[in-house]
Amino acid sequence: MDEISKFHTVRGYQRMEKGSREKGLTSAMEDYLEMIYRSCSGGGYIRVSALSGLLNVAAPSVTKMVQNLSRAGLVDYRRYEFISLTPKGREMGEYLLRRHTIIETFLKNLGVSESLLADTELIEHDISVTTLQRFDCFNRFLASNPGVLRSYEDFAENSNE
């Protein structure tokens, strides 16, 4: 089978990856859960208004999403109270933050700076587990071999992009 016959649309790849992960979370749910994890990682809690400010989203939208996350068993939430993570939510949040950090580090190693956050956010929802593991391995390789990273940085600085 040639390469062209293996081609899919972006949505087709997303469906394939989602099916293999069986995570059941939308990209938006992942963003909310990651931010809740960042805010509550010390065992604390966050309010809807604070989460709304951190994500630049209206409070009613936050409430609706938090209710979805609660139904999924990822957060504990009662109306007008605090949001806290369940053990399952803490585990998923830790994974989501780790995924974000791996991609961000990879992009930093490439020299991405101006669009770092946006690129990280766009990539993290559609990257396969296998590719994420390779990014992590490459990041660790560069950390263990700083001379290689410096050589790349010199090369990139002197190349005509």
pLDDT, tens only, 24-48? 899 999 999 999 999 997 778 999 9
Is the pLDDT score of 1 beyond 60?
Answer: no
Is the pLDDT score of 8 beyond 80?
Answer: no
Residue corresponding to tokens 């490439």: 110
Domains of the chain, start order? 10-91 (1.10.10.10), 97-158 (1.10.60.10)
| Angle 100-106-112 from CA coordinates, rounded to 5° | 100
Q: How confident is the model at residue 2 (pLDDT cuts 50, 70, 90)?
A: low
Q: SS3 of 84, please?
A: strand
Contact 139, 105 (CB under 8 A): yes
What pLDDT does 19 receive? 42
> Measured between alpha carbons, how far is 103 from 32 in angstroms, rounded to an integer?
18
pTM of the model: 0.84
Is the pLDDT score of 132 beyond 60?
Answer: yes
